[in-house]
Amino acid sequence: MKKVAYNRRTGTRRRIMSRLDEDRKKIDVIDRQIAELFEKRFEIVKDVIEYKIENRLPILNSGREAEITRKNTALIQDEDIREYFKVWYEELLLLSKEYQKQIQEEQ
């Protein structure tokens, strides 16, 4: 909620941004960055599936998937959120495989 401050000297009102509003703006910036990175990642995923199709490789490489999940989850220093990251990352990999399957079926 934004508070309104009244300036007695000038007779004007101005809004004071609350801490909640400031934090939400920070999250909005991060969300835009995540969206940009998501799009970049999937552009590369498209290149990967094209290579896999050309070389008759399967979409799933469970060894690689387990390794990158472990490696990237270990990057999270805050133990309280590490498991949340792992779930989020596994979902990202699932979406990646679904996207690859869609491209493969279109070819």
Give 17's pLDDT tier (boundaries 50, 70, 90). confident
**Per-residue pLDDT, 13:** 61
The strand ranges marked E within the chain are: 3-7, 12-16
C-alpha to C-alpha distance for 59 and 38, rounded to whole angstroms: 19
Instruction: For residue range 41-60, list pLDDT tens digits in order.
Output: 999 999 999 999 999 999 99
CB distance 13 to 4 below 8 Å: yes
Q: List, in order of start, the domains of the chain with CATH numbers.
A: 3-106 (1.20.59.10)
